[in-house]
Amino acid sequence: MKVYHRGPLEVDQFNSSKEQAKKLGIIRYRGHWYFPTLRGDQEVLTGDWIVNKSNAGTCIMTDEEFKQQYVRLPVINKEVADWIKLGKSKEIGLDTALMLLMAGRTDSPEITGVSKWIWHYHMADIAIAWAIGYQVEEDE
């Protein structure tokens, strides 16, 4: 399951597999897939998103509608997540945290990894992660 930011919600993109349909409560009737909602059964097409808003129930969105309304949270490594938590716990802004990182004014032994990750690959991701949230990549 992927997590997106814009209030608490969980989403799944429907792939038309029987396993996913069973997990999500989607039923097949006369060659079409349907999802039960408060407004009645809605047809679900491959690629549609089933959006569960914890405060507003579940709805079906096309892929285009979903991408226009929600921002996918960036996936960051644990070292960067720890760096963000440290900065936020000290109540400093991202600009200050980045300046400290550039100046090498940190006692963190992981600074080389954090710095490399941010500067070489993910500057936009770090801004989104700091501002609205992130997912920590899973260890393989």
Domain boundary among 21, 44, 72: 72
The pair phi, psi for residue 89, each rounded to 5°, is -65, -25
Q: In terms of domains, do 51 and 80 share one?
A: no
Q: In terms of domains, do 57 and 82 share one?
A: no
pLDDT > 70? residue 32: yes
Considering only CA atoms, which of 107, 106, 129, 105 is closest in space to residue 118? 129
Residue 9 burial (10 A CB sphere; 0-12, 13-18, 19+) = middle
Polymer length of the chain = 140
CB 123 within 8 A of CB 62: no
Counted domains in the chain: 2
Per residue in 43-70, pLDDT tens? 999 999 998 876 667 888 999 888 878 7
Neighbouring CB atoms inside 10 A of 136's CB total: 14
pLDDT > 60? residue 140: no
Q: In terms of domains, do 61 and 84 share one?
A: no
Residue numbers of the domain that contains 100: 75-136
Q: What are the residues whose beta carbons fall under 8 Å from the beta carbon of 72, sequence distance 6 or more?
A: 2, 4
* Residue 108, token pair as written in the block: 């963190």
Q: In terms of domains, do 61 and 101 share one?
A: no
CB 77 within 8 A of CB 39: no
Residue 4 confidence class, pLDDT cut points 50, 70, 90: very low
Rounded-to-10 torsion of CA 48, 52, 55, 61: 0
Q: How many whole angstroms from its chain centre is CA 26?
A: 23
Question: Is the model more confident about 139 or about 63?
Answer: 63
